[in-house]
Chains A and B, each alone.
Chain A
Amino acid sequence: GAVVSQHPSWVICKSGTSVKIECRSLDFQATTMFWYRQFPKQSLMLMATSNEGSKATYEQGVEKDKFLINHASLTLSTLTVTSAHPEDSSFYICSAGRGTQHFGDGTRLSIL
């Protein structure tokens, strides 16, 4: 069964809305989780590393004020896309694990 749960799986909302995506580790405690973005027919691009109890570290070119990450517990990390615009539409995926990373099923975000 799944070891990483991601919710929601699909979001459609108006431009300017903020959207929160949750990522939970089900069978283990995760001090670190990762957030990826994937465009159609492209591979996963790491956006940020979520660290429990401390600030997330963002990859170059990723706006930290746009993509807010909170890792408040050892089993939950959230990604909030603030004031989303159509160009933020994408497939967002989280992962967690020790060594081998296990991935959530992704969130399809569509901004109208």
Chain B
Amino acid sequence: DIVMTQSQKFMSTSVGDRVSITCKASQNVRTAVAWYQQKPGQSPKALIYLASNRHTGVPDRFTGSGSGTDFTLTINNVQSEDLADYFCLQHWNYPLTFGGGTKLEIK
């Protein structure tokens, strides 16, 4: 199975800052990566598909980048409503696998 590693379990940032959340694949997954946001008590919401494409309605302060094994979700001008867990998912190989998640805390 492909292991998706989000090494930062917790990140703390302030409103207005820029934060980068990383995800590393154990093997080349090309650009077959999605990013999700899960706010407390809610189901996950898709933010990014194919590594760098924003889903409809996702604010443009969310940007995805990367290919191969290294991927980044960048949030510019962080807002208080961005408090959430963020997960990456690879869909290059079966079984699909998620990263362990990064909890974003707003100072």
A binds B: no
Interface residues of A (CB under 8 A from B): none
Enumerate chain B interface residues (CB-CB to A < 8 A).
Answer: none
